[in-house]
Structure formats: structure tokens, C-alpha cells
Amino acid sequence: MQNMDAAAATLPAESPGPLALEVNRAELSRWQIRHDALETMGETGAVLLEVERFGFSANNVSYAVFADALRYWDFFPACSPDHGRIPVWGIVRVVRSDIPGVPPGSRYYGFVPMASHLVVRPVEIAADGFRDSAGVRASLPPDYNWYERIAPGSEGGEDILVAAKPVFTAPMLLSLLLEDHGVSNVVMTSASSKTALALGWLLAQRPHVRRVGITSSHARGLIAASGLFEEVHDYDHLDGLAADGPTWLIDFNGSAETRHRLHSALHPQLERSLIVGTTHWNAWTGLESDIAGPQPELFIGYAVIQTYWQRWGEEGFRQRLNEQWERYAQIAASLFSIETVVGGPAIGQCYEQAITAGFAPNKALIMRFA
């Protein structure tokens, strides 16, 4: 890595300088804003991107919780090994580039750090985007390295794009997996999470699938009113919950205590238990074996996506995903109000509040450094 003066020299004069939020890997609530040591722009094939905005949700906290096991820290290395940069999804603008097909001013949607700038090395350049091969990213799951071009004149709806589309791929994969296995009863925890709501919408298109949402007591009315679940229960009143035939549990909550209670209520009809996220990240204690029914499994999206890439090809899957997303985007826009956070200190404070107090079910956070 180079020093700050050399890094700043690659940026336009009006730029506030390269900044990044880093978190303590052992204590996620601790954060700092660092002046970033960007890679030199003098190297052949390097492209400098400005991160215009990014979304932040419980999905990103799950990236941090599982970062050691699933290599999420490797995507955007921090300045020191005891800190990490949580990946998010955002919109970038090309600031400096001499790569044909990736011109200055062009804009893309993709995987970024919580930072103001990013250096990439585009490969597989096409009219609709490119793949980054910078550093260790070439050895990481390729679906996280694709940057999808945003067509000029299509700027409307970008806030909901970065707020809700990042949590749409996992529901799409889960919906396909449930369909492939002929599942007709699905119970979801953290039903107010953006990922669960998207899965509820996808499954609602199949009238034979019974959708049961579990949420907090204060969010129960809101989730019931969404119409995305046929039944809604709160965590304090699970006594009336029962499986109506073979059932899968999709756990976005991550709490072992909640999972034990649900396994007991749904057993012996519970066929499979998938842990997709950790909205209650501080209750995550790992996978347990002393539990009624099937052994819980971690749902690893980039492993599951290989099945559908093989079935339709990467471009074919992406087309199906985008078709469904375009239909869901209007629904998502009606479910969440956008809250925008601007500037490094404000981003850090909002991050700390979200990770300690949680996320409001009817709000979506959009962050930008300038």
C-alpha cells in the first residue's frame, strides 16, 4: 500500500480524499474512519471508482459475522489485520480509466467497501458491465465481482436499488431451491427483514406455498399488513405455531434460542433448517447439534448459485433475477422509507447505532461519504 499523499494525488482536486470505515473484527461495534491508502493508478489496467452511495442493512452485518468463515474480509482488505471493511452494495462512477469499454463518467452497480473510492481492474468487459480481478478478488466467488452498468438516463429509483436489490439475490435462490424440492410450507424468522419480505413476495406468486412469518411483537402488525405472509406470529407467542405438513425453516434471525423453540414446535414435520442471516447477530453462537429435528445448515448463496448458473448460464440467471427485481422494486419502494446518511462521522455513528440497537423494519439506510 502507498502513503496517503500518493493516493490522494490520483484523485480529482475537488475530491474529499479517499476515506473508509473499518471495524474491529473482534468487537464489531467499534469503528474508525481511515484515510485510505489506494493502490497506485499508474499500474496498467487500474480504474479508479468513486462510490456514490451504498445501502446498509442487517444483511451486511451478516457478512461481518460470517466474514472469517466465508472470507468476506478478503474482498476489501483493511489497513491492519485486526480490522475489516464490511462489504456493501452500491453505485460507483468511473473517475479515472484508460480501459476501452469502461470510460470515465460511466456508472455501475456492484460490491464495494464502506468507502469513498475503490480501485478495480476490469476483465470480461461487456456492454452491460465488467468483472473485477484486482488483488485477491480473482480467487473469490465471481458473482460478487460483477459490476452491472447503469444506463444513462435510468437514474430514478437508485436509492431503492442499493437498499433492496442486494438482499434480493438470496431470496431468489431460496425461492428456486424451495421450488426444486417441492416445498409447500415455509416458516421464516425475522419476517420484517428486507430479505424475508422479498422471499415472502416471491413465494406469494405460488398459491400452493404456505408462508408463515415470525417477527417481534412491535413489528407484527406492520408485517401482517404487508400481505406477504399468510400467518404472522411473534417470538413471545409461538405456542400456536404448528407445521401443516412437511416444512422448511428459513432462519434470518440467527438466535440459537429461537431456533430451538421453533424446531421443537415444528418437529417432526420439519424437513430442513437453513440459516441465512443474523439479524440478531450478538445472539449467534454457531451451529448446534443438540436440537430436535434436522441439523441446521448455513445457507451459502454463492455455492447455491452454481446450480442455476449451470442450468441457465450466468447471464441467463442474471436476466431472470433482474426481471423479478424490476417487478419487486415497486413493492419494495412502498415498504420502506429512505434515510440518507452523509459523511464519514455520521456513517460511523449510524453504523454503531444500527449494530447495537438494530434496524427499523420500515426504513432503508443509504450512505455516502460526500
Instruction: Give the whole-angstrom CA distance, residue 176 versus residue 257.
Output: 28
113 vs 87, 196, 283, CA distance in Å? 5, 24, 25
Give, to the nearest 10 degrees, the angle between helix 314-335 and helix 169-180. Answer: 110
Reported as a single tens digit per residue, the pLDDT across 292-324 is 999 999 998 889 999 999 999 999 999 999 999
Predicted local confidence at residue 188, as pLDDT: 97
3-state SS track over 321-348? HHHHHHHHHHHHHHHCEEEEEECHHHHH
CB 213 within 8 A of CB 229: yes
pLDDT tens-digit profile of 310-366?
999 999 999 999 999 999 999 999 999 999 999 999 999 999 999 888 888 889 999
pTM as predicted? 0.87
Please state the φ and ψ torsions of residue 14, each to the nearest 5 degrees.
Answer: -80, -5
Q: How many CB atoms lie within 10 A of CB 60?
A: 24
Note the pLDDT tens digit of each residue in 68-79.
888 999 999 998
- Which helix (H) or strand (E) segment is 247 a member of? strand 247-251
Tell me the C-alpha distance between 155 and 157, whole Å. Answer: 6
Q: How many helices (H) and strands (E) are present in the chain, helices listed first?
A: 11, 18
- SS3 label, residue 309: helix
Share of the chain above pLDDT 90, in %: 71
pLDDT tens-digit map of 121-163: 999 999 999 999 988 888 888 889 999 999 887 666 899 999 9
Using pLDDT thresholds of 50, 70 and 90, give the confidence band for residue 198.
Answer: very high
- Does residue 94 surpass a pLDDT of 80? yes
- Nearest residue to 221 via CA among 209, 205, 235, 232: 232
Main-chain dihedrals φ then ψ at residue 124, nearest 5 degrees = 50, 45
Q: What are the chain's domains?
A: 4-155+337-368 (3.90.180.10), 166-304 (3.40.50.720)
Task: Kindly state the average pLDDT of the residues 251-279.
Answer: 91
What would the grid cell of residue 279 be? 439479524
Read off the C-alpha cell for 20: 473508509
**Confidence band of 3 (pLDDT split at 50, 70, 90):** very low
Judge whether residue 239 has pLDDT over 70.
yes
Give the whole-angstrom CA distance, residue 171 versus residue 324. 11
Binned at pLDDT 50, 70 and 90, residue 286 comes out as low
SS3 232: strand
Report the range of poorest mean pLDDT among 38-47, 147-156, 199-208: 38-47
Mean pLDDT for 37-49 is 75
